[in-house]
Structure 1
Amino acid sequence: MKPATTPPGGLVHDPAATHEFTMQFTSTPRGARLARRLVSHRLHEWGHPYDSTANETITLIAAELVANAVRHGHVPGRDFHLRLAASPAVLRIDVTDTRTDKRPCRAQDLQLPPSEQESGRGLLLVDALAADWGITPRTTAPGKTVWAVLDVP
């Protein structure tokens, strides 16, 4: 499994990014569904067609991260934020919520849940699909950002 490290630059605007999309969503299943669909749509507009490996992979990673933000990072009355950035060789997604007490496990601490358990595999998927991922505390407000990057050809 990959180490959970913060890439250089943290959450600031990446000058190498050729495209960037940010949006705030309600911390509800509907907000998570809309976020996932907009990620796929933006990637398609940026030259990664809906049926491409990059689009399908980042959309799946986005689905897992926003589902976790809604399920585990929800604070009543607070939304989650999504940032998607594309550079020529890398796609990056950041999902920020306002909950500080529920932090995901680091990559090396992830364990497969019992087979009868219906949840608990999302970050294992993220770890398997992403080139790297991790957790960064927010500096301007309470909360955390879970990010993932994907190398693209």
Structure 2
Amino acid sequence: MTRMAFASEHEQTVAVIRPPADDRAPGRVREWAAATLARWAIPALADDLNTVATELVTNAWRQGAGDLLVMLELDRAQGLVDVAVWDDAPGVPVKREPDFAAENGRGLHMVEALTTAWGYEPDHTGPGKTVWATLRVPGNGDAA
């Protein structure tokens, strides 16, 4: 179960985008996420969040998603930002053994390295799923 599934007494802010499910989606999500973090006054998280969101959106698109929905949720009291990417593609994310000579296949390793937790939940109404990740806001008890 994700943190996002629980109601909270803490101040939370949510932003949602439905990008096209094509090769432009990662760039649009990066721009939107950076602008959202700037509005939330936490631009220091932009590089890590953009890497994570790009990987999740790219994976969904490469697996044949025809529809995407991306959500960011900020919990200021906990100092956490959740990113969730819903897609309608079949299959689930699989972290591969790293092949440092390969041009791809390391995305989920990067997601794992940049987040406090990540996972997925199947969409019980269709073939899709939601892949989520939680990032700690720099300056909230981190060394980062």
TM range (shorter): 0.7 to 0.9
TM-score by length of 2: 0.84
1:131: how far off? Answer: 0.3
Aligned partner (choices 114, 125, 141) of residue 110 of structure 2: 125
Normalising by the residue count of structure 1, what TM-score does the alignment of the two structures yield?
Answer: 0.80
Counterparts in 2 of 1:36 and 1:131: CA distance versus 1, 3 Å: same
Question: How many residues get paired?
Answer: 136
The runs of 5 or more residues in structure 1 that have no matched partner are 1-5
Which residue in 2 is equivalent to 1:94?
84
Corresponding residue of 1:81: 69
Change (3 A) 1:138 1:119: same
- Which has the bigger relative contact order, CA under 8 A and spacing at least 6? 1
Q: Is the 8 A contact 1:22 1:81 kept in 2?
A: yes
For structure 2, the 5+ residue unaligned runs are none
Structure 1 residue 18: deviation in Å? Answer: 2.2
Task: Measure, in 2, the Cα distance between the counterparts of 1:8 and 1:137.
Answer: 16
Q: Percent identity?
A: 29
Deviation at 1:14, TM superposition (A): 5.8
CA distance in 2, matches of 1:42, 1:16: 19
Q: Secondary structure at the match of 1:118?
A: coil
Q: Is 1:104 matched with 2:93?
A: yes
Give distance in 1, aligned partners of 2:108 and 2:11.
25
Which residue does the alignment assign to 1:3? none
Is 1:150 aligned to residue 135 of structure 2?
Answer: yes
Cα contact 1:93–1:147 (8 A) shared by 2: yes
Shift of 1:8: 4.5
SS at match of 2:18: strand
* Greater alpha carbon shift after TM alignment, 136-145 vs 85-94: 136-145
